[in-house]
Structure 1
Amino acid sequence: MSAVRKWLVAGLLVVVPVAITVSVLQWIIGTLDRTLLILPESWQPDRFIGVHIPGLGVLLTLAILLLVGAAASNLVGKKLVTWGDALVARIPVVRSIYSSVKQVSDTLFSPGGNAFRKAVLVQWPRPDVWTIAFVTGSPGGEVSQYLPGDYVSVYVPTTPNPTGGYFVILRKTDCLELKMTVDEALKYVISMGVVVPGAPPLLNR
């Protein structure tokens, strides 16, 4: 029975990651394939090929992103983006949504952004209980006026879904900076502490 249990665990360790990876890829490809719907009906690949080829939407999405990125990187493109931002800023309701989303995306994806560049250990949700958080910046504006001293803004993710979490402002001295990378820290959080950074794989233990 011990041998059967060992084989079963070894099989799960091999099959479960593969099954989850395939499922996630299928969802991503299926979602991006909807990009093909922006093409005219006569240009639809399924129409003139006669067979649905998964992944064409991924290629189209990458092509659109590359074209938009190339256009926005030159002088004319930057002026058009600035003009578009100014136009959206004049539209009520839309401007508040757009500006919030743009600030978050600029922080997360811009090369000079500081979000999720450092993993720290913090006491949460009470003293002597520790968890991993990610530094997102420093408090500013009116908030900083009420916080004398050196504070940092951190994001405390939930497990196993790190897209949900809490925004917390802590003293910098209360945050222990970790040597592990952000990717390693995310794996540690998502796995609920099972995948320990720097530890050997489970099969080798």
Structure 2
Amino acid sequence: MSPADPRSKGPQEASAELRAGLRRLVREDPSTAGWHIGARLRNYFLTGLVIVGPVTITLYFAWWFINVTDAWIKPFVPAAYLPDTYLPFPIPGFGLVVGIIALTLIGALAANLLGRTLISFGEQMLGGMPIVRNVYSALKQIFESVVSATGPNQAFQKVGLIEFPSKGLWSIVFVTGETTGEVGAMMPGGEEDLLTVFMPTGIVPPTGFVCFLPRRNVVFLDMNIEDAAKVIISAGMVTPESQAKLRDLAEQARRKPKITTGPAA
């Protein structure tokens, strides 16, 4: 056998040549190179979608809200005070500014004696209407609950888990505080410490269930309110762990030095 004959080489040398040939075949395979380019373009497209999608939707809803507010408020503003009367183009957001100023003035008026008297007189008039009083009372309670929940002193305190809707199934809840008043006094086992929690629904997060249950039945989580809201609104697709992992990967990609390699031999 000649020295060039593969059969004259040892098994290690033959195996090394085989691996080298396979590597050259993979590098030179045009279909593999095309697959890598397609995957990279797909990743670029998804990255652009993640960046542009939320911004576009946010701007769309903001623009829609401004236009709706302008359509409601501008008809009540005299034409002499509208910028559209003097300019050849409309100014979006003018009605929103007027609405904010009007609500601030109404709140300031309600803070003094005259304002409280007028508000009480209006509520008495609405209270004399059979159907209107029920609608007004319900809406007032809803608005008062929302405003009090977003206030600095009455915000949700912690995030926890309770077994709902059955044993072994857990749901995220927002702990609003300790149960006091008549509810806490009339509950069975009144000596036990009770908590008031709000469990939002997955379909419409602003709605949910108000529950009163013993403290021992609530498992507190080391999670802030914003992360819990993201989990609920995204149907569990966005979790604090995944967000932290993405941030770590992005930080590692920024810190990783670029390595340049020469052409393969």
Shorter-chain TM band: 0.7 to 0.9
Equivalence for 2:172: 132
Kept after mapping to 1: 8 A contact 2:184/2:194: no
Cα separation, partners in 2 of 1:117 and 1:52, compared to 1, 3 Å: farther
Percent identical among aligned pairs is 32
Aligned residue for 1:14?
A: 51
Counterpart among 219, 236, 245 of residue 176 in structure 1:
219
Q: What's the offset of the Cα at 1:136?
A: 4.9
Look up the match of 2:162.
Answer: 122
Please tell me whether residue 79 in structure 1 is matched to residue 120 in structure 2: no
Contact 2:194 2:212 in 1 (8 A): yes
Is this contact kept in 2: 1:119–1:134, CA < 8 A?
yes
TM-score, normalised on structure 1? 0.79
Residue 29 of structure 1, CA deviation? 1.1
State the alpha-carbon separation in 2 of the partners of residues 129 and 115 from structure 1: 26
The match for 1:25 is: 62
C-alpha distance in 2, partners of 1:173/1:70?
A: 44
Match in the other structure for 1:56 = 94
Give the distance between the partners of 1:136 and 1:154, measured in 2 at CA: 6
Mark the CA change 1:31 to 1:174 in structure 2 (over 3 Å): closer, same or farther. farther
Shift in Å, 1:109 = 0.9
Structure 2: distance between partners of 1:61 and 1:201: 43
SS in 2 for 1:163: coil
Q: What corresponds to 1:69 in structure 2?
A: 107
Query: Would you say the 8 A contact 2:159–2:174 is kept in 1?
Result: yes
Matching residue of 2:139: 101
Secondary structure of the corresponding residue to residue 205 of structure 2: coil
Q: Is the 8 A contact 1:158 1:164 kept in 2?
A: yes
The runs of 5 or more residues in structure 2 that have no matched partner are: 1-37, 250-265
Displacement after TM superposition at 1:162 (Å) = 1.1
The Cα shift of 1:17 comes to 1.0
Gaps of at least 5 residues in structure 1 are none
- Would the aligned equivalents of 1:108 and 1:115 in 2 still touch at CA under 8 Å? no
Question: What is the identity, as a one-letter code, of the residue corresponding to 1:63?
Answer: I
Which amino acid is 1:74 matched to?
N
Higher relative contact order (CA 8 A, sep 6+): 1
3-state SS of 1:128 partner:
coil
Do the aligned partners of residues 88 and 193 (structure 1) sit closer, same or farther apart at CA in structure 2, a change above 3 Å counting? same
Q: 1:14 to 1:161 in 2, by over 3 A?
A: farther
Deviates more, 1:9-18 or 1:96-105: 96-105
Structure 2 Cα separation of the partners of residues 95 and 130 of structure 1 = 39
SS of the residue aligned with 1:185? Answer: helix
Greater mean deviation of Cα atoms: 7-16 or 83-92: 83-92
CA contact (8 A) 2:163 2:169 kept: yes
Q: Which residue of 2 aligns with 1:145?
A: 186
Q: Secondary structure at the match of 2:162?
A: strand
Change (3 A) 1:178 1:87: farther
| Aligned-pair CA distance for 1:180 | 3.1
Residue 232 (structure 2) aligns with: 189
User: Which range is displaced more, 123-132 or 113-122?
Assistant: 113-122
Letter in 2 for 1:191: S
